[in-house]
A and B are shown apart, each in its own frame.
Chain A
Amino acid sequence: MEFKSKSYLYELRVLDYFMKTKKEAILLVLLCTFLTAAGQIFLKIGSGNLSFSILKLLGNLPLITGFALYFLGAVILVIALKHGELSVLYPIIATSFVWVSFLSIIFLNEIMNTWKWAGVITIVLGMGFIGKGGSLG
């Protein structure tokens, strides 16, 4: 996950330039989780019309939007990871699981139960541990 030195495209240097402090890295990662979570909703909607014809795939706007949001989130994440501490950023990345849960209720009429919430919170905690462990070396 750690891309050191020249490991990103020139166009992204603009974004890079504005990100001087950890606070900005945290905000960027938070933005990344929102994009990822929104992308998931679009992917789910798009998966309903999934077909193996290329033409239909290209016409599946929700699916394409979902992948585009996901990709954008990944690019932002790589930039943020370069600047921020893993132990701080990993638990924030994990909040995407919380956002997806809320968005699933609101936009997909899915029902969250106690077990699912317990699972989401436990996973966020687990990613926190891995992030903390990763920053130790």
Chain B
Amino acid sequence: MKTELLSILLVFIGTIIGSFGALYLKIGSKDFSINIKKLIRNYKLIFGFLFYALSSVFYVIALKWGELSVLYPLCAASYIWVCFLSMKFLNEKMNRLKWLGIITIVIGIIFIGIGG
């Protein structure tokens, strides 16, 4: 089975949506409580889960037309988006090691792309 370009695109869209999910989960986790009423009203947390669910829909559709050994490693792209989102919206600091990690992951994804 060859991996369709559309599948690769779907996985990338999925990783972007998923990283927004991670961002909302992080924001929502601040008001996390075991109280069910408060949980239902914690829109940020719910948004986070919804984003995750949506990203998995994209991912599973992508899997239909592609190799797992190509598409799964592409999920690592979400670590890149999460780094950027945490920098922009959570004021988390980047450092040399994180940048090095992002660049290394990008190179790894390019390798996978060539191999697939």
Residues of A within 8 A of B (CB): 1, 3, 6-7, 9-10, 40-41, 43-44, 46-48, 50, 63, 67, 70, 94, 97, 100-101, 104-105, 108, 110, 112-134, 136-137
Select one of A1, A113, A132 contacting B97, CB under 8 A.
A132
How many chain B residues have a CB neighbour from A under 8 Å? 46
Known: A110-B69, A130-B101, A133-B100. A119 touches B111 (CB 8 A): yes
Q: Which residues does chain B contribute within 8 Å of A48, judged by CB atoms?
A: 64
Closest to A10 in B: B34
User: Contact check: which of A115, A123, A126, A129 meets B114 at CB < 8 Å?
Assistant: A115
> How near does chain A come to B58, taking the closest CB pair, in angstroms?
12
Q: Contacts A7-B32, A40-B68, A126-B101 hold; do A47 and B63 have CB atoms under 8 A apart? A: yes
Q: Is the CB of A104 within 8 A of B114?
A: no
Q: Which residue of B26, B76, B97 contacts A129 across the interface (Cβ within 8 Å)?
A: B97
Contact A126 B69 (CB under 8 A): no
The residue that B95 contacts in the complex, of A97, A117, A133, with Cβ under 8 A, is A133
8 A-B interface contacts by CB (under 8 A): A1-B26, A110-B1, A115-B111, A126-B105, A126-B108, A129-B101, A130-B79, A130-B98
